[in-house]
A and B are shown apart, each in its own frame.
Chain A
Amino acid sequence: MRKIALIILLKLFYISNAYGLIEVDITRGNLDPLPIAVSPLHVDIKSDKFEGLKVKSLGSDISSVIEKNFKSTGLFNPLKKDAFVQKPDIAHIKPRFEDWRLIKAQALVTGKILVKDSKLKVEFRLWDLTASKEMIALAFTTTPSNWRRVAHIISDKIYERLTGENGYFDTRIIYVSEEGPKDQRVKKLAIMDQDGANTKYLTLGNELVLTPRFNPTNQMVTYLSYFRNLPRVYLLDIETGSQEVVGNFPGMTFAPRFSPDGKKIIMSFAQDGNSDIYTMDLETRVVERITEHSAIDTSPSYSPDGKYICFNSDRSGLQQIYVMKSDGSNVKRITFGKGIYGTPVWSPRGDLIAFTKVRKGRFYIGVMRSDGTGERLLTENFYQEAPSWSPNGRVLVFYRETKSGPKGEGFTAKLWSIDITGYNERKISTETDASDPSWSSLLTK
């Protein structure tokens, strides 16, 4: 009896202690974002020069990237640096908590960097200003040109510590870059960091390309290309640039995605006016037919465990979303709401399916449970589609097109992101117009 009482006491103590720590509630739209101070990382004066980098400003450059990441979540409010009360190097050793609390900061990030022998050494700390204690201290070494990734990795660690969820900053987005008038768009595959930096173009724009998607290790991309005017699914190795057509189909293949283990590509194959879903094993080259129906079956997406596939079919007359076992058995329609439904994509957590809905001439991005219940529409517009999940299943990226005038003027296509809470809708800046985004998994796991 006394023992039990003691355990309860201990538990109470433990819980109240945990309450003393700051935490960020991400289960609903956060209207009261956490004030956080990101001190510029102190640059060690013993640092070497490094070709192509301003080492002196690297500390504040890294902190700016971290701040921008935090701001984009809608969960944090990075405070203005002119109010900061301590020099970066001193704060990093031990902050004067009460001074930082005066500027209403609840969390503080400090750090220092050293560039030596062509290596970038970074250490950072996250401080809980309410409980006056250190929450994380980490150090790592990389090549100096990797400094943006360092900023993203630090952002992920802090996000994880404060929200209890996996981060998503050290990631990339592959998309279709678009330029030129609406009826003569030049489209190229482009890849960039999640925050819009480091854009690289992977194709030259000689042929139409659409719907790129990453494999689970982010090394490969599958996409649709009209190379030689034959629309086919292709596989591209991002590092080597080598490309190959997927399978030997006597007609259009499209709507490709990787299986969660990366071993197969699932896609639609259209023949004689009918589109069905097929898979091809990338190693054995074995092709399997998954659906066999006179209706259009397209936009397949695996559940993260690989056991199920959601897809889009008009077998009921109009586009609806269906779920089946990965061998094609047990097909069940899951959408019954008013309007048509397309582009289902299974969440990396497995619980939700994101989709595009069209109703009364308006386009919605929404989420629902994988059995079709609990539909929530997150955003409405003139035209938007193609949601893709952040690797932690918290955020969707999609593209939106604007209405154009009599000569096609005013037409734009841009990437946007939104929280699955329906809050924090943001335009993602891209060098050109952009569509068909696909979010990578975390680059460092």
Chain B
Amino acid sequence: MNFYKSLKNTFLILAAALILSACSTGKKADVSGDVYTGTDTVEYLATGVKDRVFFATNKSSLTSLSRETLRKQATYLRKNKNLNVVVEGHADERGTREYNLALGERRANAVKDYLMTYGISGKRISVISYGKEKPVNTESSPLAWSQNRRSVTVKVN
């Protein structure tokens, strides 16, 4: 039921993205309601398994696209039982430093919690927040900020 619902959400977002990309030019289409949906900065844990998910400003909730990415990460982690990961939480440069540290921690834990609901032991997942300290895109622009509001799953061993 839940799965069906999120599938429906995914479909809606994909549809929205398609409409946006159809009627606008440039990179605006890669941002949906403030959340980055493109792949420009994305790296892969394995073929088809994206390493990161993106967040709306000041938010730590997972979009259906993010949940899809994380389910693939969970599948990959289930297949590779000896692999441990660190989830890095990041914020954009548009907030105060201390709050951003807390926000990054909250985002990383949102990802950890989701991976755990898909059967990955919490012992295999550590979290670290970098706040706004490690931007992936150094430009001061809404697109860069959306790419920097992220959690990245990094292999430890």
Q: Quick one: which of B69-89 are within 8 Å of A by CB?
A: none
Q: Is A254 within 8 A of B101, CB to CB?
A: yes
Interface string of A253-269 (1 = CB under 8 A from B): 01100000000000010
Residue in contact with B133 in the complex, picked from A185, A272, A318, CB distance below 8 Å: A185
> In the bound complex, how far is the Cα of B97 from the Cα of A435, in angstroms?
10
**Taking the complex as formed, is B129 at the interface, i.e. its CB lies under 8 A from any CB of chain A?**
yes
Min CB–CB distance B137 → chain A (angstroms):
8
A374 contacts the other chain (Cβ, under 8 Å)? no
Known contacts A270-B129, A319-B96, A385-B96: A183-B105 contact under CB 8 Å: no
| A227 CB → nearest B CB, Å | 13
Closest chain-B Cβ to A208's Cβ sits at a distance in Å of 6
**Known contacts A182-B138, A183-B136, A231-B129; A273 and B99 CB within 8 A of each other:** no
- Given A270-B129, A405-B139: A319 touches B105 (CB 8 Å cut-off): no
B97 near A273 with CB under 8 A, answer no
A176 and chain B: residue at smallest CB distance:
B97
Tell me the bound Cα distance from A411 to B139 in angstroms: 9
How distant is the Cα of A143 from the Cα of B134 in the complex, in angstroms?
45
A404-B139 contact given A273-B105, A275-B105, A296-B106, CB 8 Å threshold: yes
A275 and B97 CA atoms in complex are apart in Å by 14
Q: Which residues A216-232 have CB closer than 8 A to chain B?
A: 224, 229, 231
Question: A403 on the interface (CB 8 Å rule)?
Answer: yes
Given contacts A211-B97, A296-B102, A312-B99, contact A273 B133 (CB under 8 A): no
Query: Is A113 positioned at the interface, with any CB of B under 8 Å from its CB?
Result: no
What is the minimal beta-carbon distance from A191 to any residue of chain B, in angstroms?
A: 19
Q: Which bucket holds chain B's interface residue count?
A: 20 to 34
Residues from chain B with Cβ under 8 Å of A312 in the complex: 96, 98-99
Q: When the two chains form their complex, are residues A254 and B98 in contact, meaning their CB atoms are under 8 A apart?
A: yes
Q: A183-B134, A231-B128, A405-B139 are in contact. Are A361 and B96 (CB under 8 A)?
A: no
Give the shortest distance, in Å, between B41 (CB) and chain A (any CB).
11
A386 contacts B129, C-beta separation under 8 Å: no
A156 at the interface (CB under 8 A from B): no
Task: Please report the C-alpha to C-alpha distance between residue A298 and residue B98 in the assembled complex, in whole angstroms.
Answer: 7
B113 contacts the other chain (CB 8 A): yes
Does A120 sit at the interface, judged by CB under 8 A? no
Residues of B within 8 A of A408 (CB): 135, 138-139
- Taking a contact as CB atoms under 8 Å apart, the answer to whether A342 and B98 are in contact is yes
Residue B17 interfacial (CB < 8 Å): no
Report whether A342 and B99 are in contact in the complex, using a CB–CB cutoff of 8 Å: yes
Interface string of B98-124 (1 = CB under 8 A from A): 110111011011100100000000000
Whether the Cβ atoms of B140 and A342 lie closer than 8 Å is no
Contact B138 A181 (CB under 8 A): yes
Which of these, A255, A383, A405, contacts B93 with CB under 8 Å? A383
Flag if A299 contacts B138 (CB, 8 Å): no
Answer yes or no: B95 CB below 8 A from chain A CBs: yes
Q: Is A367 an interface residue (CB 8 A)?
A: no
Decide: B99 and A319 in contact? CB cutoff 8 A. Answer: yes
Contact yes or no, B94 A361, CB < 8 A? yes
A273 with B140: CB separation less than 8 A: no
Q: Which residue of A lies closest to B105 (CB)?
A: A270
A105 part of interface (Cβ distance < 8 Å): no
A342→B102 CA distance, assembly (Å):
13
Task: Please state if B139 and A273 are interface contacts (CB–CB under 8 Å).
Answer: no
Is A356 on the interface with B (CB-CB < 8 A)? yes
Task: For residue B127, give the distance in angstroms from its CB to the closest CB of chain A.
Answer: 8
Given contacts A252-B128, A318-B58, contact A211 B98 (CB under 8 A): yes
Q: B139: nearest residue on chain A (CB-CB)?
A: A406
Could you say which residues of chain A place their CB within 8 Å of the CB of B106?
A: 270, 273-275, 296
Minimum Cβ distance to chain A for residue B107 (Å): 8
Q: Is A58 an interface residue (CB 8 A)?
A: no
CB under 8 Å from chain B, chain A span 335-351:
342-343
Is the CB–CB distance between A299 and B105 below 8 Å? no
- B25-42: CB near A (< 8 Å → 1, else 0) gives 000000000000000000
* B139 engages A358 (CB within 8 Å): no
B128 to A273, Cβ gap below 8 A? no
A46 contacts the other chain (CB 8 A): no
Chain A residue nearest to B110 in the complex (CB): A273
Q: Are B96 and A411 in contact (CB under 8 A)?
A: no
Contact between chains at B105 and A252 (CB < 8 Å): yes
Q: B146 contacts the other chain (Cβ, under 8 Å)?
A: no
B123 to chain A, nearest CB (A): 13
A2: interface (CB < 8 Å): no
Task: Give 20 A-B pairs besides A185-B133, A298-B99 with Cβ atoms closer than 8 angstroms.
Answer: A251-B105, A252-B128, A270-B101, A273-B110, A312-B96, A314-B58, A319-B99, A358-B94, A358-B95, A383-B93, A385-B96, A385-B97, A401-B93, A403-B140, A405-B140, A407-B138, A408-B135, A411-B140, A435-B97, A436-B97
Q: 9 interchain pairs (CB within 8 A)?
A: A182-B138, A183-B135, A183-B138, A273-B106, A299-B98, A342-B95, A342-B96, A342-B98, A361-B94
Which A-B residue pairs are the 6 nearest by beta carbons?
Answer: A408-B138, A273-B109, A342-B96, A275-B102, A182-B138, A403-B140
